[in-house]
């Protein structure tokens, strides 16, 4: 790429990867990233704690530890620590891929078993990160575009569930929930398109705060959990102890394989959104951070860490790719893990508010991938690869029960629409020979 090309690309960004926005702007943008990811970060420990029948105190500690570890890993991923971290704007957190193995191990060995499997299993990603460079040749622009599109497309059902009130909510799809989500979506859209300066850049943050305030008089915000939360909860090492078991560790390995594939895709998606060509070394450093971050999480009593795809949409929407903003977001997350009352204040944000902004963010990620695909030659071979990858990725996302009859390990690998579609695209790209002979 020529210097002129680079300059043109950079002009499309308000803040590029290495830019340092003013501290006030950075704080607002950092909170914007946290609000977009917070529900996903705390959901996994809540589900696991509920399934294992943990007490309120134990659940609170696990949630706080998860938030704290997510913050620490986000800082390492975005700032870098020696060979660890991709040094791009990457939010880190827990993922539903690890829910089933965590419940299975926890029901037998308790939280100490989850901690042991998390720590030992993390070596899966640490080892795999050393082989990312030779794997990168299997990720040409065709595959990258498919992965980025799938990230956005497979997240859209999540935003729709949020807009309806959250999966399983008694008022799911109520007129009130849908109206709030629609109002927030339109408000955020208009603010981003017509607003100037920070009004446009921080449109998601402003939209969420506006939605939060609107929902209070509507009785949609339950502040009882905020009042009940502790003011301070200092993280501690191995609070539950640690139990190392080979079978438990092996049950986590497929989830770590999915995490590796997902993180590679998300790192590339961040690069696409940031107008940044991500080298194989940086992608490998991102996967290594996944492994090291998961080990750190286990030590503090939380589940594995992985890259979050939700935040890619924010980069696309706001044109702010600064990793320094994400470093600040990581620091704030770590502080929220120490002060549960503050994290509880964010966690009670009504789901329709998240849905209103999520539809825009995730839709933009999908559009970014489609835009990338439009820049390459799309012959019959390429269209076949795209069609099958999209069909399988979207199909697994909307009909996950199709995997019910498969072995548990295969179910875990294919449980994510992103991993299913990516694997399909990778295999077809190898198997279907390019008749033009230019690959």
Q: What is the pLDDT of residues 48-71, one digit of tens each?
A: 887 788 776 787 788 889 999 999
Name the band, by pLDDT with cuts 50, 70 and 90, for residue 6: very low
Burial of 117 from C-beta contacts in 10 A (0-12 / 13-18 / 19+): buried
Mean pLDDT for the chain?
A: 86
Query: Which has more confidence, 199 or 187?
Result: 187
Of 43, 430, 118, 137, nearest to 296 (Cα)? 118
115 has pLDDT over 50? yes
- At residue 93, the 3 state secondary structure works out as strand
What separation in angstroms does the CA of 64 have from each of 40, 41, 52, 179, 294? Answer: 14, 10, 17, 32, 15
DSSP string for 325-338:
HHHHHHHHHHHHHH
Distance between CA 341 and CA 232 in Å, rounded?
A: 8
- What tokens does 212 get? 């939060």
Beta strands in 53-180 (DSSP E): 92-93
Q: What is the pLDDT of residues 277-334, one digit of tens each?
A: 888 899 999 999 999 999 999 999 888 988 887 788 889 888 899 999 999 999 999 9
**Range with the poorest average pLDDT among 91-95, 240-244, 332-336, 434-438:** 434-438
278, 271 in Cβ contact below 8 A?
Answer: yes
Output the pLDDT for position 5. 43
Distance between CA 98 and CA 248 in Å, rounded?
A: 12
Task: Find the helix packing angle between 246-273 and 141-164, rounded to 10°.
Answer: 100
Average pLDDT, integer, range 175-199: 91
Percent of the chain with pLDDT strictly greater than 90: 33
Average pLDDT, integer, range 350-375: 87
Residues 6+ apart with CB under 8 A from 164: 172, 173, 174, 177, 178, 181, 351, 352, 355
The β-bridge partners of 307 are 92
Name the band, by pLDDT with cuts 50, 70 and 90, for residue 186: very high
Average pLDDT, integer, range 342-350: 80
Output the pLDDT for position 211. 92
Distance between CA 93 and CA 97 in Å, rounded?
A: 12
DSSP string for 378-407:
--HHHHHHHHHHHHHHHHHHH-GGGGTTS-
């Amino acid at each position: 790429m020529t210097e002129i090309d680079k300059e043109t690309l950079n002009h499309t960004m308000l803040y590029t990867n290495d830019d340092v926005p003013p501290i006030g702007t950075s704080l607002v943008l950092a909170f914007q990233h946290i609000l977009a990811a917070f529900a996903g970060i705390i959901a996994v420990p809540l589900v696991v704690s509920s399934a294992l029948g943990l007490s309120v105190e134990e659940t609170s500690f696990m949630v706080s530890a998860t938030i704290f570890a997510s913050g620490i890993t986000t800082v390492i991923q975005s700032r870098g620590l020696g060979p660890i971290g991709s040094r791009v704007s990457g939010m880190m957190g827990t993922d539903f891929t690890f829910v089933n193995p965590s419940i299975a191990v926890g029901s037998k060995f308790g939280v100490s078993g989850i901690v042991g499997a998390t720590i030992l299993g993390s070596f899966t990603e640490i080892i795999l990160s050393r082989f990312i460079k030779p794997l990168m040749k299997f990720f040409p622009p065709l595959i990258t575009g498919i992965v980025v599109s799938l990230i956005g497309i497979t997240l859209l059902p999540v935003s729709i569930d949020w807009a309806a009130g959250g999966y399983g909510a008694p008022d799911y799809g109520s007129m009130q929930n849908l109206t709030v989500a629609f109002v927030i979506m339109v408000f955020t859209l208009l603010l981003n398109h017509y607003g100037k300066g920070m009004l446009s850049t921080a449109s998601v943050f402003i939209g969420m705060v506006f939605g939060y305030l609107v929902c209070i008089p509507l009785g949609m915000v339950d502040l009882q959990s905020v009042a009940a939360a502790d003011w301070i909860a200092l993280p501690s090492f191995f609070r539950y102890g640690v139990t190392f078991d080979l079978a438990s560790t092996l049950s986590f390995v497929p989830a770590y394989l999915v995490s590796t594939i997902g993180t590679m895709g998300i790192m590339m998606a961040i690069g696409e959104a940031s107008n940044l060509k991500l080298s194989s070394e940086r992608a490998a450093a991102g996967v290594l951070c996944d492994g090291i971050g998961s080990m750190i999480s286990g030590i503090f009593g939380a589940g594995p860490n992985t890259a979050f795809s939700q935040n890619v949409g924010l980069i696309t929407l706001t044109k702010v790719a600064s990793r320094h903003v994400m470093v600040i977001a990581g620091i704030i997350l770590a502080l929220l893990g120490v002060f549960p009352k503050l994290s509880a204040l964010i966690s009670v944000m009504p789901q329709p508010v998240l849905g209103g902004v999520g539809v825009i963010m995730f839709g933009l990620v999908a559009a970014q991938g489609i835009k990338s695909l439009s820049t390459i030659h799309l012959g019959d071979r390429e269209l076949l690869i795209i069609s099958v990858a999209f069909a399988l990725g979207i199909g697994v996302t909307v009909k996950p029960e199709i995997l019910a009859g498969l072995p548990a390990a295969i179910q875990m690998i294919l449980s994510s629409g992103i991993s299913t579609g990516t694997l399909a695209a990778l295999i077809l790209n190898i198997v279907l020979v390019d008749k033009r002979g230019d690959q």
